[in-house]
Structure 1
Amino acid sequence: MTSLDNQQKTEYYEYSLKKITPYVIFLCAKRHKLSQKELEVIAIVISGSRFKDIARTDGRSIKTLSAQKRNAYLKIGVSNDVELLHYIYWLSDKAIRVDNVN
């Protein structure tokens, strides 16, 4: 398996974002009792943004962002970005099915 180049990663994240709405991220945060900062970090990871860029604009250190990410992952029960995306996709599909029933 070859690693993705930057263009492929960008295309993948753009495709991913079309399916993952802010509502789904909110559901995840509510379900797992994430803090506001943990919610923001999860959104950063899902968007494909880099902590370095966010730290520069947001005023939080990379270590702080990493700690918030680790805490969110522990609460959600995932151990890496891929597991997070799988979980968010699952939650998204579940939310879509529930919305279609109502």
Structure 2
Amino acid sequence: MTFPTYRGPLLAGKGPRNPVRVALLDDHEFILKGLTSHLRQVASVSVVGSHSCSRSLRAMLAETPVDVVLIDYSLASDDMDGVALVKTLRARYPNLRILVVSGFCQSVTVNMLLREGANGFFAKNQGAADMVDAIAKVMGGEIYLPPFMMTATAKPQSPLSPREWEVIRCFLDGMSVSQIAAKFNRSLKTISTQKSTAYKKLGIRGDAELFKMREQVLQSQEVA
């Protein structure tokens, strides 16, 4: 995988003699090697480690100074959940900059990650050159978000109405639309509309995403 060499300044005072120390975590070898190759072409960045599991990353962090970690949100099934990993790293390394990299761009996920201490979110469909800007932003104390997410994610999410939350909660409990309609004595059309509106507020596009993000959705409503 070949990326164009980045030739602009990353940060004032950062360069080959004083680089930003970056560690990477992704369980996909192709992506991990691609990011590593790209960042090694940036004069003001030093890749101090690339890891395929969080255990290896955490072991390295205990021994090696790091400024920024780039971590994949969705790791292997036997590894830590992305939100739990962010929370763990933030508690142990309060000065570490945490930039989450993922192809899952739902606002409920991003807001949860930011709330647990991530310094930014980078979408995997962004250009490779954007990564340098993302590192610069979090190193400068800013929150980084992809341009297409700035408006939706930077603003507080619209809370679900009590009836919308009833529908989502029942749906997560395994009830069908018709069962929910019968339970609350509402029409199928009303329940379907309330479910659709709740999905839009949560940034979810379908049933599969809702169940995949079950814990995040439940937690987001508990703290809302």
Please tell me the TM-score bracket, short chain as reference: 0.5 to 0.7
The match for 1:45 among 146, 154, 171 is 171
Cα RMSD of the aligned pairs, angstroms, is 2.8
| Counterparts in 2 of 1:48 and 1:90: CA distance versus 1, 3 Å | same
- Quick check: which has more Rg, 1 or 2? 2
| Counterparts in 2 of 1:59 and 1:82: CA distance versus 1, 3 Å | same
The match for 2:210 among 60, 84, 93 is 84
| Counterparts in 2 of 1:53 and 1:89: CA distance versus 1, 3 Å | same
CA contact (8 A) 2:167 2:180 kept: no
More strand by share: 2
Q: What are the residue-to-residue correspondences of 1:5-84 with 2, within 5 Å?
A: 32-84=158-210
The farther-off stretch of 64-73 and 44-53 is 44-53
Q: Distance in 2 between matches of 1:93 and 1:37?
A: 18
What amino acid is the match of 1:43?
R
Structure 2, unaligned runs of 5 or more: 1-111, 113-156
CA contact (8 A) 1:45 1:81 kept: no
| Counterparts in 2 of 1:39 and 1:92: CA distance versus 1, 3 Å | closer
Structure 1, unaligned runs of 5 or more: 1-27, 95-102
1:36-90 CA distance string (max 9 Å, x none): 0110011011011112122223210010000000000000000111111222234
What amino acid is the match of 1:40?
E
Q: Distance in 1 between matches of 2:197 and 2:163?
A: 10
2:213 is paired with a residue whose SS is helix
CA contact (8 A) 2:178 2:188 kept: yes
| Counterparts in 2 of 1:60 and 1:48: CA distance versus 1, 3 Å | same
TM-score normalised according to structure 1 size: 0.54
More helix by share: 1
TM-score normalised according to structure 2 size: 0.26
What amino acid is the match of 2:194?
Q
Q: Relative contact order (C-alpha < 8 Å, sep 6+): which is higher? A: 1
Q: Distance in 2 between matches of 1:43 and 1:93?
A: 12
Q: Percent identity?
A: 35
The alignment of Structure 1 onto Structure 2 pairs a total of residues equal to 66
1:8 matched to which residue of 2? none
Q: Distance in 2 between matches of 1:54 and 1:42?
A: 10
Q: Which runs of 4+ in 1 moved over 6 A?
A: none
The farther-off stretch of 74-83 and 54-63 is 54-63
